[in-house]
């Protein structure tokens, strides 16, 4: 699919940020969630965010943030997008967008067709939903995929992206099968949990553009 957007999530070093930008990623993600091996303190995420060029969007991943924590994160990092990865409701996202003017994404676990039906609740509340595999140890970044055939003939009610278990080896197939307008990877371009591999980042971006 020509023009597929590419998000490399869990960026934690200047080197891997540069690799993602050079490889043509449209979005880079910073994780602020203490239980994740990709967790960044706000100050560290802010330092990396300042190195992101204007044509690439910075995405801040948060999980069920308290209002004060959310406000502090926005002030410190000034992200282009906030990706909510917990149990945040459509009302929460709608209020966030109205209050901040910042793009809001919501990760959604896909188990079955009923899961996909739930996406419609975020129409008008989220700018995009990310369809991900069901949570296990962590809400995301577990390297597992859901059944992509569930997306055959799916009429998406709002902008969306595909996440969960995407790697350089399978992302082209994923795009072909699902027509995903955006693909999101984290563990799929790592050499160990939380440690990105610059060669895998380059390979993923190349494969997503074939």
Catalytic site residues?
Answer: 9, 132
Burial label, 113 (beta-carbon count in 10 A; 0-12, 13-18, 19+)? exposed
Question: Helix, strand, or coil here: 11?
Answer: coil
Treating both helix axes as pointing N-terminal to C-terminal, what angle do 67-77 and 42-49 enclose, rounded to 10 degrees? 30
Q: What distance in Å separates the CA atoms of residue 182 and residue 93, rounded to the nearest whole number? A: 20
Q: What distance in Å separates the CA atoms of residue 121 and residue 1, rounded to the nearest whole number? A: 27
Question: Helix, strand, or coil here: 203?
Answer: helix
Question: Helix, strand, or coil here: 191?
Answer: strand
Q: Name the DSSP letter for residue 136.
A: S
CB-based contact 24:201 (threshold 8 Å)? no
């Amino acid at each position: 699919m020509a023009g597929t957007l590419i998000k490399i999530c869990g960026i934690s070093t200047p080197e891997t940020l540069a690799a993602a930008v050079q490889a043509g990623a449209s979005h880079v993600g910073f994780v602020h969630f203490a239980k994740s091996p990709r967790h960044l303190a706000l100050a560290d995420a802010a330092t990396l965010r300042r190195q992101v060029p204007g044509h690439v969007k910075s995405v801040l991943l948060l999980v069920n943030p308290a209002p004060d924590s959310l406000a502090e994160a926005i002030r410190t990092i000034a992200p282009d997008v906030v990706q909510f990865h917990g149990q945040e409701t459509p009302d929460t996202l709608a209020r966030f967008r109205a209050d901040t003017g910042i793009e809001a994404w919501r990760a959604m676990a896909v188990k079955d067709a009923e899961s996909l039906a739930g996406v419609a609740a975020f129409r008008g509340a989220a700018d995009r939903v990310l369809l991900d595999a069901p949570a296990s140890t962590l809400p995301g970044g577990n390297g597992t995929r859901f059944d992509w055939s569930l997306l055959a003939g799916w009429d998406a009610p709002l902008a969306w992206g595909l996440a969960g278990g995407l790697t350089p080896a399978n992302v082209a197939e994923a795009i072909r099968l699902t027509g995903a307008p955006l693909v999101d990877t984290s563990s799929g371009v790592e050499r160990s949990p939380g440690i990105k591999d610059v060669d895998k980042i380059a390979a993923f971006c190349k494969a997503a553009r074939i």
